[in-house]
């Protein structure tokens, strides 16, 4: 991060929170409007050391609250030695400096364009080859169940009994078929015989 112009203390803290949110590593410098300097050691988005003027650790965090603004810069992957008393707890720094690092949201992948959109305008689409027609046999319809059933026979006449013996039923004579033969010619009448006496 290059050196910026004058900012308020709140704006400087916002830039520090932005670096923490992106899990960066390096040293954050502040040149205050009171001609003092402040340094923060940052490791993967965590504040590990702080020094301001002749103060170190938590004392440096408290004295930094007295300034009104200044300029700031960030040297990524640059490590500067700090004293042992400059070690601070990351969560304590967030609470004292009122830092709220917000993790950037992951952008959703752009939807893929349909394959048809890549074809130039006016280019005819390749026709789909016709497949050979399969030999499909028509399905025969099943005959209705009523047609396959045998014709029902009329019920037989009840058997009659006389003195314990069954009486045979008379069969109905079949209807006489009309005679196809020609009617014979009538026989001529014979003249009556006459008898005489003594004959």
pLDDT in tens for each of the 199 residues of the chain?
444 568 999 999 999 999 999 999 999 999 999 999 999 999 999 999 999 999 999 999 999 999 999 999 999 998 889 999 999 999 999 999 999 887 766 655 666 665 555 555 555 556 656 666 656 665 666 655 555 555 666 666 667 776 767 766 655 555 555 555 556 666 666 666 665 565 4
Q: Three-state DSSP class for 84? A: helix
Asked if residue 12 is part of any domain, the answer here is yes
- In terms of DSSP bridges, do strands 69-76 and 26-32 run parallel, antiparallel, or are they unpaired? antiparallel
Asked if residue 89 is part of any domain, the answer here is yes
pLDDT value of position 53: 92
Asked if residue 39 is part of any domain, the answer here is yes
Q: How many domains does the chain have?
A: 1
Enter the pTM of the model: 0.51
Asked if residue 63 is part of any domain, the answer here is yes
Asked if residue 74 is part of any domain, the answer here is yes
Asked if residue 105 is part of any domain, the answer here is no
List strand residue ranges (DSSP E) for the chain, in order.
7-8, 26-32, 37-43, 46-52, 55-56, 69-76, 160-162, 165-167
Asked if residue 54 is part of any domain, the answer here is yes
pLDDT value of position 115: 56
pLDDT value of position 186: 65
Asked if residue 161 is part of any domain, the answer here is no
C-alpha dihedral over 133, 134, 135, 140, to 10 degrees? Answer: -100
CA atoms within 13 A on the CB side of 73: 8
Q: Domain range for residue 67?
A: 7-97
Q: Which residues, other chains included, contact 103 with Cβ-Cβ below 8 Å and sequence gap of 6+?
A: 21
């Amino acid at each position: 991060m290059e050196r910026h112009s004058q900012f308020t203390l709140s704006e400087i803290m916002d830039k520090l929170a932005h670096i923490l949110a992106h899990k960066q590593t390096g040293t954050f410098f502040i040149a205050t409007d009171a001609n003092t300097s402040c340094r923060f050691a940052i490791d993967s988005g965590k504040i590990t050391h702080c020094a301001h003027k002749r103060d170190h650790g938590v004392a440096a965090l408290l004295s930094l609250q007295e300034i009104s603004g200044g300029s700031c810069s960030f040297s990524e992957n640059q490590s500067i030695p700090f004293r042992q008393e400059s070690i601070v707890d990351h969560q304590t720094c967030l609470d004292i400096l009122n830092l709220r690092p917000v993790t950037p949201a992951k952008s959703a992948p752009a939807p893929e364009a349909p394959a048809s959109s890549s074809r130039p305008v006016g280019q005819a689409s390749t026709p789909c080859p016709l497949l050979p027609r399969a030999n499909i046999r028509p399905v025969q319809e099943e005959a209705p169940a009523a047609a396959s059933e045998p014709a029902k026979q009329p019920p037989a006449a009840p058997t009659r009994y006389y003195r314990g013996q069954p009486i045979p039923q008379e069969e109905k004579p079949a209807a006489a078929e009309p005679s196809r033969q020609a009617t014979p010619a009538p026989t001529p009448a014979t003249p009556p015989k006459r008898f005489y006496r003594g004959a």
